[in-house]
């Protein structure tokens, strides 16, 4: 007599193993089946990862599967392989990846969809029975019409509708051919195209070719705002484009997942979370603005980078990858240098316009000669006025939202800080509130120091204050602001109005620098640009250059000349020189100081409300990490523990240990050794919940 069957199940938990369960007699399951089980006295819906396993514990202690969730779609084998690849690289559990791919809300939505499908099928059976019993032809036809409607609702559309073809310029066609050649050699292609060169048209051309070949396409963008603008452009070529990100309704996301799972070729436009859809038959993955830090998931695990994870997905799916940017990341440029990627250049702008001329204004010198009006120089105000008088538009970037990023007491010098994070509170107007931009803590603004009662003075200017100053200088003009304080639902309307010429000046944070294409925009300006570089981060200069170059590209499109004005206290900074045509070899600097991409970084992050315990155990953890590599041929560098810039989050103190690995063949094994050391330490000290790992931190 055969014994009971045992299976392994992936649960949405931080576990180092897949728990083993017993299948009751008569119950059947396959790899990918969704099953309901009990773990630690709670019920979970998990995914079967292995069949016919040999238990490592006593058989009588193994719990039975409670049920196979017949109404929930099975997980594809490719999905499980993908989850394991992500977990292995980012040093987290497969369960944490499963939880990201199938969050609780998504599982509830799947259950709702299953019930809806059951109701539809039941109604269809009733209609079929009525058709069989109907005596009159018109009655039978009425039932048949109703049945056809239900069948259309039930069945996914397997045929993708393609719109008009994409016409490319000779320069674009040459770039597209170079990309196809790279694909034919099995290489990832990196398209470096100046802003306004028409990279999107190349993406769409290659996507159309992929779909005509019967393969599917995943088109990734870093932020929701870019997805909203792109959707309209893509729909002209692909009317059935599927959009997937947190900004669309749960019903629409559910529909997209069903469409992706259905079997026919599809095109999905989405943010990084779209990587975890049930993909099959992918032929092309496009990663637009591949350098953008929004592709990095900060918390919770898996703390993955969407660009790098797309490469993992492509290996499993057998798909080509096209990375695109006007300012490629140094990591991608490094990969082209060692032959892993193939670089394709597109230096000709679509409408043959020149890049916007750069003008750097020294605000220290301007204040000395009384050339400033508040936070705006008279030179900039003159250029804004000339631009508006010519019927053109202006875009103004200030990298900090709020009215004032910081306040300081004029009497005692105290700076109001967040009680949870210990970083300065920002002053927001209408209504007057002090807000922590890190954890969201708010408190009323009184204008007086909580310690001595002295007056609080604003330090610096945020987008609200810049908007107010511009309104005072140009009262007859329409001025708007776009940042994360913009109410939900108004963002798209502001972009649409600016594109239609109904707004003369738009003030915003980094969101306004990315991807937008406005016909009448001829002047872009940056206020207090120094804040972009003044960060304790080895990537600060690279990111500042990328953001400023992207912003520069918003101006002077459609063949018209444009201007780019930078207000700064440090006009000699190398980033500004590079924008004006100078050279700055950032890769050589990275090599010199041992930073990525020549090494690999892992941040071990510890959080604890008890600061003394945190300091003690973080030092002990550092020693445990060092001990784990005593016999390694190429041990990593271990720095810390140290307090990061934001050293408190949500009433918990934070410490970090930075582990820098050499980039060689031993890297995967060394990372596993680190993960084991952290796991062992967490168990021994009962401290696992306080430790997290960030591989390739942004």
Average pLDDT for residues 4-9, to the nearest whole number?
89
**Segment of 283-287, 408-412, 447-451 carrying the highest mean pLDDT:** 283-287
Residue 628: which H helix or E strand, with range? Answer: helix 611-628
Average pLDDT for residues 487-501, to the nearest whole number?
82
Q: Residue 260 and residue 270: Cα distance in Å, rounded?
A: 13
Could you tell me how far CA 23 lies from the centroid of its own chain? 39
DSSP conformation class of 455: B
Query: Which residue, among 5, 117, 105, 123, has the nearest Cα to 70 in the 3D structure?
Result: 117
In SS3 terms, 45-109 reads as: EEEEEECCCCCCCCHHHCCECCEECCCCCCCCHHHHHHHHHHHHHHCCCHHHHHHHHCCHHHHHH
Q: Among 217-221, 222-226, 436-440, 555-559, name the one with the lowest average pLDDT.
A: 555-559
Q: Residue 408 and residue 473: Cα distance in Å, rounded?
A: 27
Rg (CA), the chain: 28
Span 634-652, pLDDT tens digits: 899 999 899 887 788 878 8
Burial class (CB in 10 A: 0-12, 13-18, 19+), 219: buried
- Under the banding of pLDDT at 50, 70 and 90, the label for residue 153 is low
- Sheet containing strand 67-68, edge to edge, reads 20-23, 5-10, 42-50, 34-39, 67-68
User: Within 13 A of 480's CA, how many CA atoms are on the CB side?
Assistant: 21
**Segment of 262-266, 282-286, 353-357, 414-418 carrying the highest mean pLDDT:** 282-286
CATH number of 598-695: 3.30.70.600
The more confident residue out of 99 and 164 is 99
Please check whether residue 425 is in contact with residue 433, taking contact to mean a CB–CB distance below 8 angstroms. Answer: no
Q: Which residues of 324-361 are buried (b: 16+ CB within 10 A; e: fewer)?
A: bbbbbbbbbbbbbeeeebbbbebebbbeebebbebebb
- The angle, 0 to 180 degrees and rounded to 10, between the axes of the packed helices 170-184 and 199-212 is 50
pLDDT of 115 above 60: no
Query: Quick one: tokens of 386?
Result: 């000339």
Q: Which fold has domain 5-102?
A: GIY-YIG endonuclease (3.40.1440)
Q: Taking the CB of residue 254, how many other CB atoms lie within 10 A of it?
A: 16
Domain locations in the chain as residue ranges: 5-102, 108-154, 170-346, 357-403+461-583, 598-695
**Segment of 104-113, 125-134, 506-515, 675-684 carrying the highest mean pLDDT:** 675-684
Query: Which residue, among 682, 659, 680, has the nearest Cα to 671 in the 3D structure?
Result: 659
User: Within 13 A of 429's CA, how many CA atoms are on the CB side?
Assistant: 11
Query: Which residue, among 640, 546, 537, 531, has the nearest Cα to 593 in the 3D structure?
Result: 537
Question: Which residues have a Cβ under 8 Å from the Cβ of 489 and sit 6 or more positions away?
Answer: none
pLDDT of 460 above 50: yes
The more confident residue out of 665 and 517 is 665
Q: Taking the CB of residue 159, how many other CB atoms lie within 10 A of it?
A: 8
Please report the DSSP string for 133-167 in residue order: H--SHHHHHHHHHHHHHHHHHHS---SPP--PPPP
Task: Look up the CATH superfamily of 170-346.
Answer: P-loop containing nucleotide triphosphate hydrolases (3.40.50.300)
Q: Among 71-75, 189-193, 562-566, 653-657, name the one with the lowest average pLDDT.
A: 71-75
Write down the pLDDT at residue 113. Answer: 54
- Under the banding of pLDDT at 50, 70 and 90, the label for residue 534 is low
**Segment of 216-225, 242-251, 672-681 carrying the highest mean pLDDT:** 672-681
Question: Which residues have a Cβ under 8 Å from the Cβ of 469 and sit 6 or more positions away?
Answer: 373, 374, 375, 376, 461
pLDDT of 107 above 60: no
Q: Which fold has domain 357-403+461-583?
A: Rossmann fold (3.40.50)
Q: Residue 499 and residue 493: Cα distance in Å, rounded?
A: 10
Q: Residue 308 and residue 465: Cα distance in Å, rounded?
A: 39
Mean residue pLDDT across the chain = 87
Q: Residue 620 and residue 692: Cα distance in Å, rounded?
A: 16
Domains 170-346 and 357-403+461-583 share a fold: yes
Q: Among 348-362, 447-461, 651-665, name the one with the lowest average pLDDT.
A: 348-362
Average pLDDT for residues 97-116, to the nearest whole number?
66
Write down the pLDDT at residue 636. Answer: 94
pLDDT of 408 above 80: yes
DSSP conformation class of 507: E
Query: Quick one: tokens of 50?
Result: 């292995």
β partners of residue 564: 358, 524
Q: Residue 313 and residue 217: Cα distance in Å, rounded?
A: 12
Write down the pLDDT at residue 105. Answer: 45
Q: Residue 338 and residue 332: Cα distance in Å, rounded?
A: 10
Please check whether residue 306 is in contact with residue 245, taking contact to mean a CB–CB distance below 8 angstroms. Answer: no
Please report the DSSP string for 360-371 in residue order: EEEHHHHHHTT-
Write down the pLDDT at residue 383. Answer: 94
Q: Residue 311 and residue 309: Cα distance in Å, rounded?
A: 5
DSSP conformation class of 275: G
Span 308-333, pLDDT tens digits: 999 999 999 999 999 999 889 999 99
β partners of residue 20: 8
Q: Which residues of 454-482 are buried (b: 16+ CB within 10 A; e: fewer)?
A: eebebebbbbbbbbbbbeeebeeeebbbb
Please check whether residue 465 is in contact with residue 426, taking contact to mean a CB–CB distance below 8 angstroms. Answer: no
- Sheet containing strand 188-193, edge to edge, reads 242-244, 267-270, 216-220, 282-288, 320-325, 188-193, 341-346
Write down the pLDDT at residue 116. Answer: 57
Query: Which residue, among 202, 251, 277, 221, has the nearest Cα to 266 in the 3D structure?
Result: 277
Query: Quick one: tokens of 230?
Result: 């792109």
């Amino acid at each position: 007599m055969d014994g009971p069957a045992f299976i392994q199940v992936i649960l949405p938990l931080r576990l180092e193993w897949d728990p083993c369960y017993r299948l009751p007699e008569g119950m059947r399951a396959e790899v990918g089946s969704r099953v309901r089980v009990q773990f630690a006295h709670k019920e979970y819906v998990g995914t079967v990862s292995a069949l016919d396993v040999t238990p490592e514990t006593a058989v009588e202690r193994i719990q039975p599967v409670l049920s196979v969730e017949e109404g929930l779609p099975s997980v594809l084998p490719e999905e499980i392989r993908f989850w394991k690849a992500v977990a292995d690289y980012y040093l987290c559990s497969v369960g944490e990846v499963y939880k990201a791919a199938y969050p609780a809300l998504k599982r509830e939505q799947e259950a709702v969809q299953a019930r809806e499908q059951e109701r539809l099928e039941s109604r269809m059976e009733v209609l079929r029975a009525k058709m069989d019993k109907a005596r009159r032809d018109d009655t039978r036809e009425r039932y048949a019409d109703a049945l056809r409607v239900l069948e259309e609702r039930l069945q996914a559309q397997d045929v993708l509708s393609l719109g008009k073809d994409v016409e490319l310029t000779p320069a674009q066609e040459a770039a597209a051919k170079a990309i196809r050649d790279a694909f034919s050699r099995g290489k990832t292609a990196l398209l470096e195209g100046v802003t306004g060169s028409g990279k999107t048209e190349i993406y769409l051309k290659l996507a159309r070719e992929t779909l005509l070949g019967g393969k599917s396409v995943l088109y990734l963008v870093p932020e929701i705002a870019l997805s909203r603008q792109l959707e309209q452009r893509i729909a002209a070529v692909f009317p059935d484009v599927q959009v997937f990100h947190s900004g669309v309704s749960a019903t629409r996301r559910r529909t997209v997942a069903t469409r992706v799972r259905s079997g026919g070729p599809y095109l999905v436009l989405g943010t990084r979370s779209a990587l975890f859809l049930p993909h099959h038959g992918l032929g092309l993955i496009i990663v637009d603005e591949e350098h953008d830090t929004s592709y990095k998931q900060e918390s919770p695990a898996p703390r993955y980078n969407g660009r790098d994870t797309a490469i993992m997905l492509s290996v499993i799916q057998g798909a080509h990858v096209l990375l695109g940017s006007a300012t490629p990341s140094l990591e991608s440029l490094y990969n082209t240098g060692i032959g892993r990627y193939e670089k394709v250049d597109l230096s000709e702008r679509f409408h043959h316009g020149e890049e916007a001329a750069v003008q750097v204004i020294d605000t220290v010198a301007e204040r000395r000669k009384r050339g400033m009006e508040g936070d705006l120089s008279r030179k900039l105000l003159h250029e804004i006025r000339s631009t508006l008088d010519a019927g053109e538009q202006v875009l103004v970037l200030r990298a900090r939202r709020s009215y004032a990023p910081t306040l300081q007491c004029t009497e005692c010098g105290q700076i109001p800080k967040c009680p949870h994070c210990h970083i300065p509170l920002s002053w927001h107007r209408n209504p007057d509130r002090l807000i922590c931009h890190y954890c969201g803590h708010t408190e009323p603004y009184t204008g007086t120091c909580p310690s001595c009662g002295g007056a609080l003075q604003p330090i610096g200017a945020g987008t609200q204050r810049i908007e107010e100053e511009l309104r005072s200088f140009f009262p007859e003009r329409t001025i708007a602001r776009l940042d994360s304080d913009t109410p939900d639902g108004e963002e798209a309307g502001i972009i649409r109005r600016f594109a239609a010429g109904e707004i003369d000046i738009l003030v915003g944070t980094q969101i306004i620098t990315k991807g937008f294409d406005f016909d009448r925009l001829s002047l872009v300006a940056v206020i207090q640009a120094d804040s972009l570089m003044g960060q304790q981060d080895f990537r600060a200069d690279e990111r500042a250059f990328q953001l400023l170059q992207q912003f520069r590209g918003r101006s002077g499109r459609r063949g018209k000349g444009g201007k780019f004005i930078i207000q700064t206290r440090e006009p000699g900074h190398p980033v500004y020189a590079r924008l004006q045509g100078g050279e700055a070899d950032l890769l050589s600097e990275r090599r010199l100081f041992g930073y990525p991409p020549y090494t690999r970084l892992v941040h071990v992050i510890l959080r604890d409300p008890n600061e003394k315990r945190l300091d003690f155990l973080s030092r002990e953890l550092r020693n445990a990490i060092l001990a784990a590599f005593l016999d390694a041929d190429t041990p990593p560098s271990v720095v810390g523990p140290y307090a990061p810039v934001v050293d408190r989050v949500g009433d918990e103190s934070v410490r970090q240990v930075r582990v820098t690995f050499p980039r060689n063949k031993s890297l995967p094994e060394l990372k596993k050794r680190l993960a084991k050391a952290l796991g062992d330490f967490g168990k021994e000290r009962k401290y696992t919940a306080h430790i997290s790992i960030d591989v390739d931190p942004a």
